[in-house]
């Protein structure tokens, strides 16, 4: 850690001189992420919908969440689970209507819950009217330049370009699947030898940026509080390592939001917070992608980014490493702490659930959740994580869910109770969007609501403690204290307004002890999974002892 001290101090100084305010409500936000198709079905067709979400607002608020982020609910062909949009201005009929979304937002606001939607800014469906018009031979139409086309069909289609069965002479650039043509934000450095590459300020990219602002304005005017922006760092093509052009784009978007919809937020999935926050995002999500690998994967993934088996820290095996996370997260935290939040979600519609492989018992899951809910970021909890839902590895592929991994595994229906279909839907089981967890002992909300030892009760208590304790919230200072070479337990300090708390985490299957520099004279346990966990302070040293698979929070005085 000593080697990175000076660079970190320099980053901290830079953050102080470029401070950017965030909406007050964001510093108290706790986000609940919902995949609409599998959260709650209100009409018995086997697919979740907006009315189902609205019916559960009371549950969301009672658990301790005050913000919802929904995966895409716009009109779609559902060849990629809603990420292939055909109309950004209309709710898909499977979920309901625009009026029902507005009603959901209004009722959420009445309960003190804000609502964020998913903005798929990088591409559309190939069935979108914009793309269909761009396929016409006449290249002077309104949407001709909304997409990126090669100059001729004779160009050999590459991994990124798709041979177009269209009147237009050319092939189109895709983002992921062939059915997702990339919107044209231009090239950061257009190649003069490739005149079809438009620049950032050319008419086509300017029109696309204006369209994205119209989409945000349409929904923010109806009460939407923000957007999670898909593919945020890759919209402008051919950018440099500093993302100069993409940062310019999002700075312009942030300025527009602040002028026209103050109080609304932008969330990115960049996994490089120093770039994303500098670009204008309020939150950057750290996940297991190209740039987040060295922070997220060592803690929660069982394979490297190359697919090779690797130990992870939050497993009972206790063979994990935290150095990569600590060094890189500390750097990103200090670079962004006064301007936005580097946040790590528990999982998402694209990431494996916590209940997987060597992390299954309630105490193991509570220990991992303690980490997510006591770090200095905006907590983001994916639906069902608060009750310990299981990752279903062999879930059937649905609507393009299989890429390099089976994304259906984390999208199975929410488990509300022990009635048929776990209370998710009244449809016949074969009509459900995805099958339920087949385990007869699967967890559900009803069974855990009044059980003081349940994961749900633990999450409720922990969120209540966080809300009442500034030191444990987003504004509290954070500092890693324990050894990166002997990482069990992981211990970090949270501090604000003169109050100090130690968070100690031992996900391993063995009892552990550690000695760390004491930030006070005495310590008292205030929350955790193990009443016997101890922290004794003597002569400037805190001696912490913990049982297997346990978490403890100590107030230090």
Are 523 and 420 in the same domain? Answer: no
Task: Give the mean pLDDT of 153-182.
Answer: 93
Closest alpha carbon to 179 in 131, 137, 142, 134: 131
Number of domains in the chain: 2
> pLDDT tens digits, residue range 342-384?
999 999 999 999 999 889 999 999 999 999 999 999 999 999 9
Q: What is d(CA 1, CA 334) in angstroms, rounded to the nearest whole number?
A: 14
> pLDDT tens digits, residue range 28-58?
999 999 999 999 999 999 999 999 999 999 9
Are 268 and 331 in the same domain? Answer: yes
Q: Is 443 exposed, middle or buried (0-12, 13-18, 19+ CB in 10 A)?
A: buried
CATH for 381? 3.20.20.80
> What is the phi/psi pair of residue 408, to 5°?
-65, -25
What's the predicted TM-score (pTM) here? Answer: 0.95
Are 542 and 452 in the same domain? Answer: no
Looking at residue 312, what is its pLDDT? 93
The two tokens of residue 62 are: 């009672």
Provide the 3-class DSSP secondary structure of residue 478: strand
Q: Indicate the range of 147-161, 217-231, 425-439, 526-540 predicted with least confidence.
A: 147-161
Unique residue bearing structure tokens 């048929």? 420
Are 347 and 460 in the same domain? Answer: yes
* 17 C-beta neighbours (distance < 10 Å), count: 7
Are 347 and 489 in the same domain? Answer: no
Q: What is the 3-state secondary structure (H, E, C) of 102-162?
A: HHHHHHHHHCCCEEEEEECCCECCCCCHHHHHHCCCCCCCCCCCCECECCCCCCCCCCCEE
Beta-sheet pairing, 477-480 with 380-382 = unpaired
pLDDT exceeds 50 at position 502 = yes
Domain C-terminal end among 466, 489, 511: 466
Are 496 and 451 in the same domain? Answer: no
CATH for 488? 2.60.40.1180
> pLDDT tens digits, residue range 229-266?
999 999 999 999 999 999 999 999 999 999 999 999 99
Are 449 and 344 in the same domain? Answer: yes
pLDDT exceeds 50 at position 1 = no
Looking at residue 13, what is its pLDDT? 37
- Average pLDDT of the chain is 94
């Amino acid at each position: 850690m000593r080697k990175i001290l000076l660079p970190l101090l320099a980053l901290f100084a830079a953050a102080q001189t470029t401070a950017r305010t965030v909406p007050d409500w964001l510093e108290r936000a706790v986000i609940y992420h919902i995949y609409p198709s599998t959260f709650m079905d209100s009409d018995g067709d086997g697919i979740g919908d907006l009315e189902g979400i609205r019916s559960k607002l009371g549950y969301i608020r009672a658990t301790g969440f005050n913000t919802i982020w929904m995966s895409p609910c716009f009109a779609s062909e559902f060849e990629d689970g809603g990420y292939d949009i055909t109309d950004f201005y209309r709710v898909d009929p499977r979920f309901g209507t625009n009026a029902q979304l507005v009603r959901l937002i209004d009722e959420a606001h009445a309960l003190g819950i804000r609502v964020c939607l998913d903005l798929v800014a990088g591409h559309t469906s190939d069935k979108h009217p914009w793309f269909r018009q761009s396929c016409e031979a006449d290249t002077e139409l309104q949407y001709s330049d909304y997409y990126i086309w090669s100059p001729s069909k004779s160009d050999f289609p590459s991994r990124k370009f798709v041979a177009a069965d269209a009147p237009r002479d050319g092939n189109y650039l895709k983002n992921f699947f062939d059915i997702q043509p990339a919107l044209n934000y231009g090239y950061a450095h257009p190649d003069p030898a490739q005149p079809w590459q438009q620049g950032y300020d050319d008419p086509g990219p300017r029109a696309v940026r204006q369209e994205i602002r119209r989409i945000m304005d349409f929904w923010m005017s109806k009460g939407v509080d923000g957007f999670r922006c898909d593919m945020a760092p890759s919209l402008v093509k051919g950018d440099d390592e500093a993302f100069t052009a993409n940062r310019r784009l999002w700075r312009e978007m942030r300025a527009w939001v602040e002028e026209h919809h103050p109080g609304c937020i932008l969330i990115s999935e960049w996994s490089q917070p120093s770039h994303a926050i500098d670009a204008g995002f309020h939150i950057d999500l750290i996940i297991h992608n190209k740039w987040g690998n060295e922070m997220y994967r060592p803690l929660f993934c069982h394979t490297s980014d190359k697919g090779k088996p690797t130990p992870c820290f939050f497993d009972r095996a206790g063979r994990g490493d935290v150095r990569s996370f600590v060094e890189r997260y500390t750097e990103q935290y200090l670079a962004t702490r006064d301007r936005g939040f580097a946040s790590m979600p528990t999982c998402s519609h694209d990431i494996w659930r916590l209940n997987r492989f060597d992390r299954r018992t309630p105490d193991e899951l509570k220990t991992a959740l303690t980490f997510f809910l006591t770090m200095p970021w905006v907590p983001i909890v994916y639906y069902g994580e608060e009750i310990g839902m299981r990752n279903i590895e062999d879930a059937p592929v649905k609507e393009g869910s299989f890429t390099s991994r089976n994304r259906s595994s984390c999208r199975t229906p929410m488990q509300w109770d022990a009635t048929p279909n776990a209370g998710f839907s009244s449809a016949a089981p074969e009509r459900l969007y995805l099958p339920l967890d087949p385990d007869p002992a699967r967890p559900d909300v009803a069974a855990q609501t009044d059980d003081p030892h349940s994961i749900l009760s633990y999450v409720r208590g922990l969120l209540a403690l966080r809300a009442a304790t500034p030191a444990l919230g987003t504004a509290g200072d954070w500092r890693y204290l324990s050894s990166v070479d002997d990482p069990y337990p992981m211990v970090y300090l949270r501090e604000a307004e003169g109050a100090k708390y130690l968070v100690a985490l031992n996900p391993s299957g063995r009892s552990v002890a550690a000695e760390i520099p004491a930030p006070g004279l005495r310590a008292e346990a205030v929350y955790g999974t193990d009443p016997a966990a101890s922290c004794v302070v003597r002569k400037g040293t805190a001696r912490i002892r913990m049982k297997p698979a346990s978490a403890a929070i100590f107030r230090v005085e």
